[in-house]
Amino acid sequence: MAAPLTDAQVVELRESYAAGARQVDLAARFGISQTAVSAIVSGRTRAAAGGPVKESAPRARRARSSAPGPDPAGASSRRTRLTPARVDAIRARVAAGEPRAAVAEAEGVSIHTVHSIMSGRRSGSAGSGSLTDAQVTELRAAAEAGAGQAELAVRFGISQQAVSAILRGLSHRDGQY
């Protein structure tokens, strides 16, 4: 184990780093780890020893958003909610023949999100409570004729879970799915 650095060595290390020396080279020169060099030059350790301390810039995060393109403000890394209108737009683009990967990239969502939308696991503007009694009757008839739940979800613009609940006899009006 290397002996602790003196205050003079810490100042020398910080000055060398400020002059452009690489942390890995300083670690070899002073016989300490690169992690220890990083802690010293940033002031996380040995702050009172003196010497120039590296300004800590906010750590850059990859912006993730469901909106296309980069976040102009760069303020938030949280995703914005995928609106029913965007779900409908994605569904329309894929239905028009555009490749799912291209739609995902253009809309700023993952290809898995596009697959979820197209399989009916994500609904668009027609929410589960917006089906009329006639549509519910039509949905049940189509299911009895052999249509799958995912297909029915896409056809009626509701989630597959809502289709399942309706087919199990739960009310499509009270939202008790």
What sign for the dihedral angle of Cα 47, 53, 57, 60?
A: negative
Looking up tokens 């291209």 gives: 102
- Collapsing DSSP to helix, strand or coil, 116 comes out as helix
Can you give the pLDDT at residue 1? 56
Looking up tokens 């102009």 gives: 72
Q: Could you tell me which of 149, 151, 146 has the C-alpha nearest to residue 165? A: 149
What's the pLDDT tens digit per position in 44-87? 898 888 888 887 655 555 544 444 444 444 444 455 677 878 88
What's the pTM? Answer: 0.34
Can you give the pLDDT at residue 74? 45
What's the pLDDT tens digit per position in 129-172? 567 888 889 999 999 999 998 888 888 878 788 888 888 887 55
Query: What is the Cα–Cα distance from 6 to 90, expressed in whole angstroms?
Result: 62
What's the pLDDT tens digit per position in 109-138? 888 888 888 776 666 544 445 678 888 899
What's the pLDDT tens digit per position in 27-46? 999 999 999 999 999 888 98
